[in-house]
Amino acid sequence: MHIPDGFLSTPVWAVMDAAAAPAVGYVVRKAQRGFDDAKVPLLGVMGAFVFAAQMINFPVGVGTSGHLVGGALLACMLGPAAASVVMCAILAIQALVFQDGGILALGANVFNMAIAGVLAGYLPYHLWGRGRGRRAAIFAGGTLSLLTSAMLALAELMISGVRMPGPVLGVSLALFVVSALVEGAITVAVVAALERIQPGVLRAPSAGRSPAFAALALVAILLAAGGVVFASTAPDGIERLAMQTGIASHARTLIATPLKDYQASWLGSGWPAQAAAGIAGLGLVYGACLMIGRKR
């Protein structure tokens, strides 16, 4: 789902950067005004979990994988403004530290996933998520969130001049639909698990001594440290589309970092390097969310 540098034309990524900057500023101010200091650690816990979950790719078709994006999950747990802030922190750290997603394309990725994707994921929950249809609303939110992000990414690529033959576009859309349905199912499953541990967690989330969020933090550590061993290595939807349209070779890296591709380079390759990078990422995301939440 992350668009790397080199895929979007200069006018497109420049416009998306210009659009994303004020939007991010607005949601940061709104989140800081409306968030209780006692709940700030919740931002870090949710951010760390979503970051870890995004590292775990799962098969969605032959030769293609997907992963949880988490926009709807964050929106249901934190509200749309705080969810957007957390997703922005995740995307920025992924681009700047792990070279996952472009730096010039960061505005597009932020707009697609942290702004539009979060709002789309929150809409069904806001409209009918307080009554009997809550699980259906959460599922619809997860599905709609990923589809919105995917459609925006496809539109940006097409506006940038990427030619997509009908069959290629059709298969890509089908794979995105499958990924979206899985996103909805995972979102419902995570919320249901948290509610079993702590009934009413959606109505009054608190990271303090909450058993639900202690469990979520533990799962995040396990996913970051060991989940990558079981993750699919197949390309995700955007990567597969890039290979089919011939633009995969256009991807470029503007900076080099020691944690590129979620590997701690000083440990070589393999599980220890992946685990070290994952744990480092958890710490960075958690710390960034705390700093943003507490700054006034």
Cα separation of 255 and 97, whole Å? 9
Hey, what CATH topology would domain 10-294 get?
Arp2/3 complex 21 kDa subunit ARPC3 (1.10.1760)
Beta bridge partners of 236: 65
Distance in Å from the first CA to the final CA of the chain: 32
State residue 36's pLDDT score.
74
| Arithmetic mean of pLDDT, 220-241 | 90
10 Å CB burial of residue 263 (0-12, 13-18, 19+) is buried
| 105: phi then psi, degrees, rounded to nearest 5 | -90, 5
pLDDT at 55 over 60: yes
**Which of 173, 143, 176, 156 lies closest to 72, judged by CA?**
143
| Arithmetic mean of pLDDT, 57-71 | 92
Cα separation of 114 and 134, whole Å? 22
Pick from 64-68, 94-98, 252-256: least confident: 252-256
Two structure tokens written together for 181: 């349905």
Cα separation of 97 and 100, whole Å? 8
Two structure tokens written together for 207: 């990271």
Cα separation of 192 and 185, whole Å? 11
State residue 159's pLDDT score.
97
pLDDT bracket for residue 230 (50, 70, 90): confident
Cβ-based neighbours of 228, under 8 Å, separated by 6 or more: 55, 56, 262, 271, 274, 275, 278
Helix, strand or coil, per DSSP, at residue 236: strand
Helix, strand or coil, per DSSP, at residue 193: helix
Helix, strand or coil, per DSSP, at residue 138: helix
CB 164 within 8 A of CB 241: yes
pLDDT in tens, 114-171: 999 999 999 999 999 877 889 999 999 999 999 999 999 999 999 999 999 999 999 9
Maximum mean pLDDT: which of 174-183, 244-253, 268-277: 174-183
- Structure pTM? 0.95
- Mean pLDDT in the chain? 92
Q: How many CA atoms lie within 13 A of 139 on its CB side?
A: 9
pLDDT in tens, 91-105: 999 999 999 999 999
What single DSSP character describes residue 61? E
- Beta strand spans in the chain (E): 58-61, 64-66
Cβ-based neighbours of 26, under 8 Å, separated by 6 or more: none
CB 57 within 8 A of CB 234: yes
pLDDT bracket for residue 208 (50, 70, 90): low
pLDDT bracket for residue 8 (50, 70, 90): very high
Two structure tokens written together for 291: 């700093």
